[in-house]
Amino acid sequence: MDIDRIHTPVMLERTLDLLEPALEREGAVFVDATLGMGGHSLAVLERFPGAVVIGLDRDTEALAIARERLARFGDRMRFVHTVYDGIADAVRGEGFDEVQGILFDLGVSSMQLDRAERGFAYAKDAPLDMRMDSTRGRTAADVIAEYDEDQLRRIFQEYGEEKLAARYARAIVRAREAEPITRSGRLVEVLTDATPAAVQRAGHPAKRVFQALRIEVNEELVALEAAIPAALDLVSTGGRIVVLSYQSLEDRLVKRALAAASSSTAPAGLPMELPEHRPQFRLLVRGAELASESEQAENPRAKPVRLRAAERVRRPS
């Protein structure tokens, strides 16, 4: 891959602006919890010359690209091979107890989508892999081969919010009895054949099923549900966290976690709020912020993004 032609990350300038009050001081520590090819980390290292960056990623291929791309920053850039729910161990492993900034840029990366052989994209025929860490774990082909009809229906409903989940699960089970489904092209054929023509006109029949398989293979929501509270615990007073989500399931988890952290814990009926009940965080944006119309026009991958951010205002006593 030509590292000089890597795309600009989604909502980059807005993310940097939100992080700036926390990262502009000397010695600030920033965690890029979804390092990818290092676009956000590169921008942070350049804009905040006193900051140290810890980059986490489960994808060894992405880590190799980021190491090459960010080598010139020396010890200011640290790399950790881990899923983002390992954020606390990663930070402490680098010698820090708290950090001033954290970013989660969730979902599948551009590199993973663009590499046909990784099997993430339903528009390209490839082995059904979908593992973000290709060194371990089951593949999407394993899920398709081993899950029974009820299990397939459940993940299509829960992780893909797919209305035809039962129909698709039944079609897959029937098709795999004739021959194993090991490639994305064959799975798309099965799904397309099972989709009414009117529904096909409304969008690609494989979109939500592929999302569900990716989430199941990588246990993304399980990891995220543990990662956000762990990340919030690491943020120092005055520190900030920014999260970019690309689908509603992710965004709902993030919304709930940030809402809880920014709410009073005072029991109902108390005449006054005690200091220990005051919120630990304050929200930095109202609701979920979208990419600008111009950015969405330039970069289709910015269309579904939802940005949420918060700042720690106090530590628990």
Q: Rounded mean pLDDT of the chain?
A: 90
Q: Has residue 2 got a pLDDT over 50?
A: no
Q: How confident is the model at residue 157, as a pLDDT? A: 96
Q: Has residue 122 got a pLDDT over 50?
A: yes
As annotated, the residues of the chain forming the CATH 3.40.50.150 domain(s) are 3-111+220-312
Please state, for a pLDDT cut of 70, what percent of the chain lies above it. Answer: 89
Annotated binding site for S-adenosyl-L-methionine: 38-40, 57, 84, 105, 112
Cβ density class 149-166: b for 16+ within 10 Å, e for less: eeebbbbbbebbebebbb
Of the candidates 156, 134, 157, the one whose C-alpha atom is nearest the C-alpha of residue 143 is 156
Angle at 224 between CA 314 and CA 124, to 5 degrees: 145
**pLDDT tens readout for residues 132-160:** 888 888 999 999 999 999 999 999 999 99
Q: How confident is the model at residue 1, as a pLDDT? A: 45
Q: Which residue has the higher pLDDT, 263 or 39?
A: 39
Q: How confident is the model at residue 119, as a pLDDT? A: 59
**pLDDT tens readout for residues 82-115:** 999 999 999 999 999 999 999 999 977 555 555 6
Segment 309-316 shows an average pLDDT of 92
Angle at 200 between CA 198 and CA 205, to 5 degrees: 140
Q: Which residue shows structure tokens 């009809």?
A: 149
**pLDDT tens readout for residues 217-237:** 999 999 999 999 999 999 999
Q: How confident is the model at residue 277, as a pLDDT? A: 64
Annotated binding site: 38-40, 57, 84, 105, 112
CATH architecture label of 117-218 = Orthogonal Bundle (1.10)
Q: How confident is the model at residue 266, as a pLDDT? A: 63
* Contacts for 93 with CB less than 8 Å, ≥ 6 apart: 80
Q: How confident is the model at residue 255, as a pLDDT? A: 97
* 3-state secondary structure at position 82: coil
**pLDDT tens readout for residues 40-81:** 999 999 999 999 999 999 999 999 999 999 999 999 999 999
Backbone angles phi and psi of 29, in degrees to 5: -110, 130
Q: Is residue 240 within 8 Å of 21, Cβ to Cβ?
A: yes
* Contacts for 158 with CB less than 8 Å, ≥ 6 apart: 212
Per-residue tokens: 290 = 């979208």
Q: How far apart are CA 94 and CA 29, in angstroms?
A: 11
Q: How far apart are CA 224 and CA 159, in angstroms?
A: 13
Q: What pLDDT band is residue 6 in, cutting at 50, 70 and 90?
A: low
Q: How confident is the model at residue 4, as a pLDDT? A: 47
CATH topology (fold) of 3-111+220-312: Rossmann fold (3.40.50)
Q: How far is CA 234 from the centre of its chain?
A: 18
Q: Is residue 257 within 8 Å of 228, Cβ to Cβ?
A: yes
Q: Which residue has the higher pLDDT, 300 or 177?
A: 177
Angle at 212 between CA 210 and CA 217, to 5 degrees: 95
Q: What pLDDT band is residue 161 in, cutting at 50, 70 and 90?
A: very high
Q: Is the pTM value of this prediction over 0.75?
A: yes
Poorest-pLDDT segment among 117-121, 274-278, 310-314: 117-121
As annotated, the residues of the chain forming the CATH 1.10.150.170 domain(s) are 117-218
Q: Is residue 195 within 8 Å of 207, Cβ to Cβ?
A: no
Poorest-pLDDT segment among 13-22, 69-78, 155-164, 194-203: 194-203
Neighbour-count burial of 45, counting CB atoms closer than 10 A to its CB (0-12 exposed, 13-18 middle, 19+ buried): buried
